[in-house]
A and B are shown apart, each in its own frame.
Chain A
Amino acid sequence: MSSQAPTAGGAGPSAERHHRRVRKAPTKQLLGVAGILGFLVTWELISRLGIIDERYLPPASEVIAALVADFGLTAFWVSVGETMKAWFLGLLIAVVAAVLLGFIIGSSNFLRKATNSTVEFLRPIPSVALIPLAVLLFGVKIESSLLLIVYASFWQVLIQVLYGVADVDMVANNTAKTYGLGRMARIRYVVFPTALPYLMTGVRLAGAVALVLAITAELVIGSPGLGREIALAQSGGAISGMYALVLATGLIGVVINMLMRFIEKKTLAWHSSVRSEVVV
């Protein structure tokens, strides 16, 4: 497992640098807003000037109007809810399974060696390969989405948990043993805190992957959710509506990223990578 990139997906919490926001922040934010506005204006001009036909790329103002109109529709929120439900359930199942297996495999040298080849073989299999199987087994139900989401997120979390459990300080572990801490107590007070930062990195990565797969399943298979609405809007010729939904998936992605970072920060408030003022 040492062949793994230590930087893979920003693994390890220490990889994340925390740049202190200095006084210049307001200009930086202004520039960022200007960037977004500039992008929207460019988009507007491209379609208004007919560089790309308005039928295929409606102007930004129209799409945003459609998005705002969507915000008032129950149907839109139902689709969002369905996507989020699949996302959450899939992520939950994957995390629970990966944590259980990860701790079991990680705490035994024999199991770790014996499962390594299988894990390394199964992990890179793209979960979209399971699409036909999902269709066959579950049809257009939420279970199809769940199968893909769980498969894709499971490995992300499992790998991180395995790293985390392997990272346990032997001195700390032996000290705990000497002080008479039992197996469960050691897992709770030594192994778990060590693995937690890794686990959170895994969960954050898995959260992003789970959203991609949730949308994919809805788009390709047609299980209920935003992805299916996009496919329907596209084939139905509701072009502004389609672009609006694409923007909506982007917004969901941003919200999920922010949420994940927030959770990571809260659960790891004690960890030195978050408490950046502490000299390590």
Chain B
Amino acid sequence: MKVLKTLGYLLGLPVLLILLWWSSTLGAVNFFVPTPATLVSKFGEVWFGERFFTDVLPSIGRLLVGVVAAIVIGVVGGVLIGSIKWLRALLEPTLEFFRAIPPPVLVPVLMLLMGITDSMKVVVIISGCVWPVLLNTIEGVRAVDPVLSDSSHTYGIDGWARVRYLVLPSASPQIMAGVRQSMSLGLILMVISEMFASSAGLGFTIVQFQRSFAIPEMWSGIVVLGLLGVGMSFIFQWAERNILRWYHGQKEVENAA
């Protein structure tokens, strides 16, 4: 009974919405809105074929490389800048400015500097995604509990061990918040870089469908992007639960007290 109830809550509204969609497209043929059946059949036809390997996988690959590189650069740079006081004071205003620049404007800039290449698209993703991770890491490193910091210093924990066992763990909730932002940014930048300057990839394909008025195909592309976003958010939540298990546990104890 309980399972049924949970299932009902989980699926009730989506099923209702799909029914609504289905019934509203039943009678009249609307040019802009395909019926659910057309969409599903187009979806399989368009995306599970050659296109999966020529457009979808390369896009996802670029996204992964970009986001991972941004996280690595952001965390390493953040730990460095965050632990050296004068460096932080020196760089923080400049970095804040860079963060404030809307990342999509980097597409035309990098196109100019690097030409339209795969590495340009990866660099676009990196240069947009790195700021949330970098600035959040700096903030997290800065906010390390001073008592813990002093204790570990007294015990002679220095250098790499200090970073590994003190700085990174205590900054990790902040870092993960930054990673979350940069993942959704990465997806946006991947699509934009392909829409703006490309002849292949998910973004390009979808715009192409729209330009040729292949409406159901276009919708199926939107669905692919949606699924990609949802998939990434699931992966993130899973990773976060594992990495920050201790943190959530601690919070629970604190809240209970």
Contacts and interface: CB of A to CB of B under 8 A. Distances in A.
B69 interface: no
A115 B226 contact: no
Main secondary structure on chain B at its contact with chain A?
A: helix
Contacts of A35: 89-94
Contacts of A128: 187-188, 191-192, 195, 203, 225
B232 interface: yes
B232 A124 contact: yes
Interface stretch (A4-12, A74-82, A171-179, A265-273): A4-12
A118 B17 contact: yes
A133 B96 CA distance: 33
A115 B12 CA distance: 9
B237 to A, nearest CB: 6
B226 A56 contact: no
Contacts of B173: 5-7
B100 interface: yes
Given A36-B94, A124-B230, A227 B104 contact: yes
Interface string B102-131: 111111110111000000000000000000
A250 B229 contact: no
A133 B222 contact: yes
Nearest to B172: A7
A96 interface: no
B41 interface: no
B207 A132 contact: yes
A171 B218 CA distance: 51
Contacts of B191: 126, 128-129, 131
Interface residues of B, number: 69
Contact of B209 (A132, A137, A252): A132
B93 A125 contact: no
Contacts of B241: 3
B216 interface: no
Nearest to A123: B233
A3 to B, nearest CB: 6
Contact of B104 (A38, A117, A124, A212): A212
A32 B192 contact: no
A246 B105 contact: yes
Given A32-B93, A34-B90, A253-B102, A116 B251 contact: no
B83 to A, nearest CB: 16
B32 A136 contact: yes
Closest 6 CB pairs of A and B: A253-B100, A132-B210, A129-B225, A250-B101, A124-B229, A124-B233
